[in-house]
Chain A
Amino acid sequence: MSAVDTGRDRSLEALVERIVDGHPRSIARAITEIEDQTARGESILQQLPEPDQPAAVVGITGPPGVGKSTLINALITELRARELRVGVLSVDPSSPVSGGAVLGDRIRMARHASDPGVFIRSLASRGQIGGLCRTIDRVIRLVHAAGFDLLIVETVGTGQVDVAITEVANTNVALFAPGLGDEIQALKAGILEVADILVVNRADSPHTRGTLLELESMLALRGTEQRRVPVLATIATTGEGVAELADRILDLASSD
């Protein structure tokens, strides 16, 4: 082994140490390496210690404009009050033509930017369909190793495609806006089948009750052998219903 290689290894070890200590810049750099699928990124992953327990990963999915980021923002506040360290990975689609992306979600979580107990990272899907990026499982492993108790993965999508998220998340939250009518029918084969919690956000709308009832009746049609899927109402902007959502998420995370 050459001297240079040894030097590199030492820098790698130091980097991994800092990641495990939860040092934000080191985590951020390592994510870039993983996203870019570099050899260094692979080495970092290989050197990460085996976790004591599996990561608690919460997938939050919903159509654009339903208030996902705002709800996650409120959820972070709630989870921080319970002294949990929270990692958020917010995935936005890359342009299929240019490969570029505009990532605008984290701005709604801006007030957590300077909290060391919160790590937020925007990821572009980089050509992967299903609302996720192909390196997501590795990024999750990294952020988990950095000591974040709960990982939230935010993805855009409606209907069938977002089923992809169930491969990486062990708790799946699907978000709805009040007042969707026919769209519910289209959901039957999609997210409704895999979601663990359904949430109607913006519950201050007069259409909320109707949507809650529709979702409940859809779930009833799925039969009794399924486990009970709660249907919750939240108002992300005021934080209403968020504590209950956090309760449900943590219940499921601990039962897994």
Chain B
Amino acid sequence: MQKNADDIVVFLIIVSALILALAAFIAIMVYLYRKKQISFFQNLEQIKLDHEKTLMSAQLEMQESTFQHISREIHDNISLSLTLAKLRLNTLNRDDRNEVEEKVTASVTLLTQCINDLSDISKSLNSDIIKQQGLTRALEDEVQRIRDAGMFTLDSWLTGNPIYMDAQKELIIFRVIQEAFNNIIKHAEARHAELSLHYDRERLYIAIDDDGNGFDTRLAREHQKAGLRNMETRVKMLRGTMIISSLPEFGTNLSFTIPID
């Protein structure tokens, strides 16, 4: 009888030990998982913070570049035109009616030019159109603005079904395209350029080609050209890719692939 009771105790101890061992195994599993999960979410938070930091820095860069653009436009065009107008009006011989008429007309033309330039700057800086009507509509206006400037001919294509993305994201894409055209205007001396956009369900593909001077991409990267670096940073921020193909005298091709999510 005593032996049977001992057997039961031994048996119960073994079973309890087995169950406790399994429970401990599961508890360790849960503990390790939770620990890993906490570390994972901390990392995720850090990545989010880094991304926000990059976004902020890109916004500051964009702002800085915009200020430079405004400053250049004011200095090169508006200020010059206003100075000329002022000069003409200051040197006005009020007794000579013909000269008065000629100089006032020329000054009015210069002031009209200034107003148009200011209007162009204002339009190109205004991001409301992107928020209200989207990227494609804003690009249509931008293309028209460049065509009107008459520095080179510009063709544009849009294929696929446009998908509206986050306004902030569309603004960054818009500024990247603007930067690309600014580079063509400033450096390429192109006669013809093309802009094409293609939307599929997951990505937006953008290509910008010109037949201008071109450049050595390796040298440009080595010298960390600010314009290119800005574009690259902004595209990377959108988890996209940017490919530059260019050779001196053979024009330039810029391709961007931006994920839509």
Q: Do A and B bind each other?
A: no
Question: A residues near B, CB below 8 A?
Answer: none
